[in-house]
Structure 1
């Protein structure tokens, strides 16, 4: 297999990053039942239903008033804890097959896609919103490469449009799930690089070698890896801010 070059990495990451923008915007900008602009009030005259809505508005998730008022750390915690649980579970599911599944790139591909999604979300919260910045971030954290993020393909717009087609006019779980799968397939071309991504501890990997229960080890391994992703991202944000 030919060696994967920096341009190959950029060719895969640019449509991935451009597609994660609409996906993350769908998650971040959703207005859950009108809770984002709800004014939370106090008083004994509040009805039970009104108090329920007030409690919901205080939950720090996208679409609530608490989210709109949350600081960057709280939002980062949401992406790591809430979204991280979902992407970790998806990446761990192939672990049911134990060591046999580890011979296939599916888990690494799904895990890398989930880590890339988290990195894009964190970048947005820290003010790194351009495609070029996010491509450099993902290449640095996931593949230990410092790349030139400029476009390398003329059909990039079409590829991005194809990746986000399932999000048009809707924000259903089904649409988001299909988009995640498409994003993972984009990274499949980087199979030789996927094992460079942050991984779980050695004991997570050892448990992941066992059939059936391997999914448990893989899940906790993916959760551990996401914490490393966050730390690496913070180091990159600090380094980039220091040079600006």
Structure 2
């Protein structure tokens, strides 16, 4: 059955809106305390050593640091691909433990597509693209090869869409409420919810970048299949990252300041 552009937009708009809080929590969580390490926190430390410590903290290239603010959009998007991408690819690869048996259900495609869509939203943000419509068009183009009309992708931001997006981030909201931050379990649960939200697009998900033939062949072997699936998803994420730069170069204004 052919999936229309309208159906793709209806599924992707809540997905994109849900990706926003996920990326915000990852960007602003400051897991290493780098944003809170002010110079006054080092009172009593010898001045020369203090200067080295402060410089070391602010030179680490992670969100929230001075070094991050000085990076180009291309370099910041590379960070998302290499750091967050590893986590998403590992979660995607876990079903591979069952080898070819797991190919009978769309677990790999749904979770894999969710991680790729999340990466695309992160890259878009670093290029200054924050509106849901443009992000929908980016995902549809890079993952499905679809050229969605801007007016259709823009949607109407209705209440039902907001409710659907909030439902996708329930685990994340509960974690931040109970623990004050997004836990690994909450992030994994949210990625799973995002993946399930894409099940209506199963036919289109098969078009997404999925790594080399060798990776897919290894992925069908029980137990070691997890390694093949992991490598395949990492390769697919890199291809998605590369395609995103080309699309954004054409559709988004160049920026240097972080989102």
Partner of 1:4: 3
Tell me the residue number matched to 1:16.
15
Corresponding residue for residue 256 of structure 2:
none
Distance in 2 separating the partners of 1:199 and 1:172:
28
- Kindly indicate whether the alpha-carbon contact (under 8 Å) linking 1:205 and 1:221 is maintained by their aligned counterparts in 2: yes
Q: SS of the counterpart of 1:149?
A: helix
Given the alignment, which residue of 149, 154, 161 partners 2:153? 149
CA RMSD in angstroms comes to: 2.5
Q: Does 1:195 align with 2:206?
A: yes
Write the distance in 2 (CA, Å) between the matches of 1:45 and 1:59: 22
Secondary structure of the 2:12 match is helix
Q: Aligned ranges for residues 62-77 of structure 1 at < 5 Å?
A: 62-77=63-78
- Structure 2 counterpart of 1:55: 56
Conserved 8 A contact 2:80-2:119: yes
Aligned to 1:160: 165
How far the C-alpha of 1:33 sits from its partner, in A, is 5.6
Deviating 4+ runs (over 6 angstroms):
47-50
Unaligned runs of 5+ in 1: none
Question: Separation in 2 of the partners of 1:106 and 1:34?
Answer: 35
TM-score (norm 2): 0.83
Give, in whole Å, the separation in 1 of the partners of 2:118 and 2:187. Answer: 12
**Alignment pair present for 1:106 and 2:104:** no
Match of 1:229 among 231, 236, 240: 240
Please, which runs of 5 or more residues in structure 2 have no aligned partner? 40-44, 254-259
Tell me what 1:26 maps to. Answer: 25
- Secondary structure of 2:206's counterpart equals helix
In structure 1, C-alpha distance between the alignment counterparts of 2:232 and 2:207, rounded to whole Å: 15
Residues 38 and 65, structure 1, Cα contact 8 Å, conserved in 2: no
- Is the CA contact 2:134–2:154 (under 8 Å) kept in the aligned structure 1? no
8 Å CA contact 1:36, 1:65 repeated in 2: no
Whole-angstrom CA distance in 1 between matches of 2:35 and 2:188:
25
Cα deviation 1:100-133 (Å, max 9, x = unaligned): 1122200111100000000000000011110000
Count of aligned residue pairs for this structure pair:
239
Alpha-carbon distance in structure 1 between the residues aligned to 2:227 and 2:17: 32
Seen in structure 2, the aligned counterparts of structure 1 residues 95 and 32 have a Cα distance that, compared at 3 Å, is closer
